[in-house]
Amino acid sequence: MILILTQDISHQSAEFRQLMDHLNALPGIKSRIHNEKGEQQTLTEVYLIGNTAPLSIEDMQTLPGVERVVRVSEEYRVLGRHKDDDRATHFDYNGVRFGQDTLNVFAGLCAVDTPTHVEAMLKALRDHGQVCTRMGAYKPRTSPYAFQGHGKNCLPWTFELAGKYGIKVIAMEVTHESHVDEIRAALDQTGNPTGVMLQIGTRNTQNFELLKIVGRQQEFPVLFKRGFGITLDESINAAEYLASEGNRKIVFGLRGMKTNMGDPHRNFVDFAHVPVVKRLTRMPVCIDPSHSVGARSRAADGLLDVFHVVAQGVVAGANMILVDFHPNPKAALVDGPQALLMEELPHFLEDVQLARETYLKRQGLVARYQK
């Protein structure tokens, strides 16, 4: 059960203390407080854990400081959509809104390589009105002999360049606790010219200790990739690790499943799950066409497979697109063969816009036909 308290309630107030005294006296029930700091207000929620079945919603609603009560189902307690649950399905970070009703494009380099390539990418994004990007500094690779990313050394200049071109959010994978500290230190050192969304890659979807660490900080939002060889339920439960530790600024990323049934794509494209994740949870959903398709193959109609799957995901309501571009894919140190070219950026963005307009029109049809 979740008690949603009145906005901006002070934890020092008499009503808050009365409420907590009452809850602490309930037999077999433990309470856990979660503060959600928004740009304008702070929302406090109290999670009641234990046998809450005998507690009535009506009684709990009359307790001091309580605005609303939600009875949660067992699954996905924090992130799930529960009956009569009208909690937010969006969050704001560094001036950018991420929600189940918005769409953000994160085009960028799979891996940071040279300042020239990074700058060419960022300049193209700025010239096309983009404020988000992807830039990998820590790359988990199949072979120990492959390039693992430039790590912390590339962070200060990458962040400074991002700031120079008006980038507000960089999606950046972390594979170890120390990476979060290094990112924070580099942002501090450079005067916070940009923001970072920490990415949990598919190889770490069930790295529960990493999830707990990333979940305990609330400074950075998280792009959480679905595990490529586990069920959707297992992946959403893993995302719940982040949220149960306190960070619920999470975008859930679909990136394809590992099976040869998806051949000739690198992974089996799973964007049919966009509306499913939005129904089961309150998380915005990201699609990653680059790592799912994994190639620049072109369909008979002239469009790249990457464009086609993006359109499929966006028409189904995707909220974020993570996509690899590179100014010179032959020189890319990671995933060059799947990267889109700089000159394809305007075509890509216009194609995304078309698909988005179609999605919004489809929502209009729902409103018209399901009165």
What's the min distance (Å) between Cβ of 112 and Mn ion? 12
- Residue 167 interacting with Mn ion (CB under 5 A): no
Residue 248's binding partner, choosing from ligand PEP, Mn ion, none, with beta-carbon cut-off 5 to 8 A by kind?
A: none
Structure tokens at 302: 């002239």
DSSP 226: P
Single residue of 335, 339, 340, 352 touching Mn ion by CB under 5 A:
335
- Residue with Cβ nearer ligand PEP (100 or 202): 202
What's the min distance (Å) between Cβ of 110 and Mn ion? 4
- Residue 201 interacting with ligand PEP (CB under 6 A): yes
**What is d(CA 340, CA 122) in angstroms, rounded to the nearest whole number?**
14
Single residue of 100, 202, 281, 319 touching ligand PEP by CB under 6 A:
202
C-alpha 40, offset from chain centre: 21
Nearest to 240 by CA among 280, 297, 273: 280
Structure tokens at 97: 């809104």
What's the min distance (Å) between Cβ of 292 and ligand PEP? 8
Q: For ligand PEP, what does the binding mask look like between residues 130 and 169, x meaning CB under 6 A?
A: ------x---------------------------------
- Residue with Cβ nearer ligand PEP (76 or 138): 138
- Residue 113 interacting with Mn ion (CB under 5 A): no
Please, which residues bridge with residue 135 across strands?
Answer: 109
Q: What is the dihedral of CA 339, 97, 39, 165, to 10 degrees?
A: 40
- Residue 110 interacting with Mn ion (CB under 5 A): yes
**What is d(CA 140, CA 111) in angstroms, rounded to the nearest whole number?**
11
What's the min distance (Å) between Cβ of 253 and ligand PEP? 7
What's the min distance (Å) between Cβ of 338 and Mn ion? 7
3-state secondary structure of 170: strand
The span of 73-81, 99-107, 110-118, 126-134 binding Mn ion (CB under 5 A) equals 110-118
Single residue of 78, 110, 251, 323 touching ligand PEP by CB under 6 A:
110
- Residue 221 interacting with ligand PEP (CB under 6 A): no
The span of 45-53, 199-207, 214-222, 235-243 binding ligand PEP (CB under 6 A) equals 199-207
Residues sharing a CB contact under 8 Å with residue 15, sequence separation 6 or more, in sequence order = 9, 64, 65
- Residue 225 interacting with ligand PEP (CB under 6 A): yes
Sign of CA pseudo-dihedral 178, 180, 186, 191:
negative
How are beta strands 285-287 and 104-108 bridged, if at all? unpaired
Residue 182's binding partner, choosing from Mn ion, ligand PEP, none, with beta-carbon cut-off 5 to 8 A by kind?
A: none
Distances (CA, A) of 163 to 134, 136, 323: 14, 17, 20
Please, which residues bridge with residue 35 across strands?
Answer: 44
Hey, which residues between 244 and 273 contact ligand PEP (CB under 6 A)?
A: 255
**What is d(CA 118, CA 130) in angstroms, rounded to the nearest whole number?**
15
Rule CB under 6 A: which residues touch ligand PEP?
110, 136, 173, 201-203, 225, 255, 288, 291
